Amino acid sequence: MILDSFDSIIEKKGRVHLTGVGGVSMSALAEMLLSMGACVSGTDREDSEVLKRLKSLGADIRVGHSPEAVEGASVLVRTAAVHDDNPEIIRAKELRIPVLERSYAWGVIMRRYEHVLCISGTHGKTTTTSMAAHIAVNAGIDPSVMVGGSLPLIGGGTLRIGKRNLFIAEACEYCNSFLNFYPTVAVILNIEPDHLDFFKDIDSIISSFRKFAMLTPENGVVVVNADDKNAMRAVEGIPRRIITFGLSENAEIRAEAISEQNGYFSFDVLQGGKKYSSVTLSVPGRHNMINALACAAACCHAKIPGQVFASGLSEFFGAGRRFERKGKVNGALLVDDYAHHPSEMRATLDAAFSMGYSRVICLFQPHTYTRTKAFMNEFAKELKRCDLVYLLDIYAAREQPDGVTSSELLASKIENAVYCPDFETAVRKIRENAREGDIILSMGAGSVSKVPDLLLSR
């Protein structure tokens, strides 16, 4: 019922206020609402280029949160990072202004599209969503796209506004956000333990993904990784059309004739045993072959020709912070990557090691105390593979220190690791040790993304 009322607010040009409008998903939401003719206002703690852009598009934007900002609004949309003690949330409740999570708002928008492709999974969402966007644009479909990282295809942004035929969206499981979406095709790339500050255990995560799959209509489709046991558990027995993809022979969409050169994969895509396409990827790593197969499954369902699929993929050179080449430091290649889970780190490191560099140097910033505590040994195992490791303090995000878990503790488990208390120390040590022939990986989901620019500016 509240979704219908939100839709009505948009149509009647009631004011939609976004608290935390500077975030990736929230700024994209604001831009989408503006394109629909909605009246939009928003606030964020700090000014930014994002806020300036939204102002130029016609949004009423203020820096800083205040009770007055929500007065006169028809609805308030919040991010998960905005808590109940925020002055705007408090004032909205006093004025009985409805308060919605951003995922509800995206759900309303999705209902306006004929086809909605939602891509979920513990890992690979941003890359696979970006791949799908490239393929759709290459096919002349003119999709709308919402992605969690910057994509060169859409001017380095996170939103593309196209026709109302196809919406391609990254679907995150954290706080069950994706359960507010309306997929006609739901993709499940993989399911692993993560976000254990919200989910109780792996069973609760699988249950959430199962509910996500069931959001598809009866004539919808669920695309699932045949090689991932948890993903297959999530869809077991559900009354929906299932299309499997993967490397195993029982997958409906699978790869054959696989070859690899310096980390880049070429392969044939088979659909039901028959050749659908031949692909050469422009992004490194075996994990990207799996991501491409997920896209192939969706494309086969949509009856996109194999040559169009292959052409779109060949033009995909990556999304922001997904094995993003930043430049060179002392002749060493500097790559920035979002990896913050052991499986993501493994995939990124596998790609780096397959590229033939003499040494792999890693700068890693763990993300949240709960994740670092849960995966301490797994992080150590992956980082031990590197020739040199530099560890920044844990990026707390929404959490408080637990008094035990720390990057220093993680460093103590890795023989070749050095704890760096600040960016300056990390920059200095990397510049002292990097040399031509090395590859430097800057990894993590927090403020570590600022370090590559610091390294390249000196």
- Which domain CATH number covers 392? 3.90.190.20
What per-residue confidence (pLDDT) applies to 3?
59
Q: How confident is the model at residue 264 (pLDDT cuts 50, 70, 90)?
A: very high
At 43-61, the pLDDT tens digits run 999 999 999 999 999 999 9
The token pair at 196 is 């254990």
Let me know if residue 288 belongs to a domain.
Answer: yes
The CA angle 291-293-294, to the nearest 5 degrees, is 65
384 is catalytic: no
Task: Give the pTM.
Answer: 0.93
12 among known catalytic residues = no
Q: Do 363 and 269 lie in a common domain?
A: no
Task: Confirm whether 57 is domain-assigned.
Answer: yes
Tens digit of pLDDT for each residue in 67-78? Answer: 999 999 999 999
Q: What are phi and psi of 278, to 5 degrees?
A: -115, 130
Q: Domain range holding 383?
A: 324-456
End-of-domain residue from the set 291, 314, 337:
314
Tens of pLDDT, residues 97-124: 999 999 999 999 999 999 999 999 999 9
Closest CA to 245 of 216, 206, 211, 277: 277
CA distance 237 to 308: 33
Q: What is the pLDDT of residues 216-262, one digit of tens each?
A: 999 999 999 999 999 999 999 999 999 999 999 999 999 999 999 99
Instruction: Supply the angle between the helices 342-353 and 286-301 in degrees, to the nearest 10.
Output: 110
3-state DSSP of 167-231: EEEECCCHHHHHHHCCCCEEEECCCCCCCCCCCCCHHHHHHHHHHHHCCCCCCCEEEEECCCHHH
Q: Does any domain span residue 373?
A: yes
The answer to whether residue 319 sits within a structural domain is: no
Same domain, 49 and 96: yes
pLDDT in tens, 302-348: 999 999 999 999 999 999 999 999 999 999 999 999 999 999 999 99
Place of tokens 């990097």: 434
Catalytic residue among 79, 125, 348, 382: 125
Residue 125 catalytic?
A: yes
CATH number at residue 175: 3.40.1190.10
What is the rounded distance in angstroms from the CA atom of residue 74 to the CA atom of residue 113? 24
Judge if 169 and 203 occupy the same domain: yes
Asked whether residue 107 is assigned to any structural domain, the reply reads: no
| pLDDT value of position 442 | 98
Same domain, 133 and 252: yes
Percent of the chain, pLDDT > 70?
99
**Which whole number is the average pLDDT over 397-408?**
94
Determine, yes or no, domain membership for 148.
yes
62-95: b or e for each residue (b if 16 or more CB lie within 10 Å)? beebeeebbeebbbbbbbbebeeebbbbebbeee
Q: Locate tokens 């369902």: which residue?
A: 301
pLDDT at 458: 64
Least confident of 73-82, 123-132, 351-360: 73-82
3-state secondary structure of 51: helix
Q: What is the largest CA-CA distance in the chain?
A: 63
3-state secondary structure of 164: coil
Count up the domains in the chain and report the number: 3
User: Is the separation of the CB atoms in 129 and 170 below 8 Å?
Assistant: yes
Please say which residue of 102, 137, 168 terminates a domain.
102
Same domain, 339 and 308: no
Strands, sheet with 99-101, edge to edge from the N-terminal-most edge strand? 60-63, 39-44, 15-19, 75-78, 99-101
Indicate whether 341 belongs to any domain.
yes
80 pLDDT band, cuts 50/70/90, is confident
191 and 335, same structural domain?
no
pLDDT tens digits, residue range 270-292? 999 999 999 999 999 999 999 99
Instruction: Tell me, yes or no, whether 153 and 273 share the same domain.
Output: yes
Section 436-442 average pLDDT = 98
Output the pLDDT for position 157. Answer: 86
Which of 102, 125, 159 finishes a domain? 102
**pLDDT higher than 60, residue 1:** no
pLDDT over threshold 70, residue 187: yes
Q: Do 344 and 271 reside in the same domain of the chain?
A: no
Q: What CATH number is associated with residue 84?
A: 3.40.50.720
Do 329 and 309 share a structural domain?
no
Structural domain contains residue 70: yes
Does 176 lie in the same domain as 93?
no
Q: What is the mean pLDDT of the chain?
A: 96
pLDDT, mean of residues 13-42:
95
In the prediction, which pLDDT does 2 show? 59
User: In which band, very low, low, confident or very high, does the pLDDT at 24 lie, cut at 50, 70 and 90?
Assistant: confident
Note whether 348 and 444 are same-domain residues: yes
Q: Which of 170, 173, 324, 382 is catalytic?
A: 170
Which is the catalytic residue, given 43, 79, 126, 368? 126
Q: Is the same domain home to 129 and 11? A: no
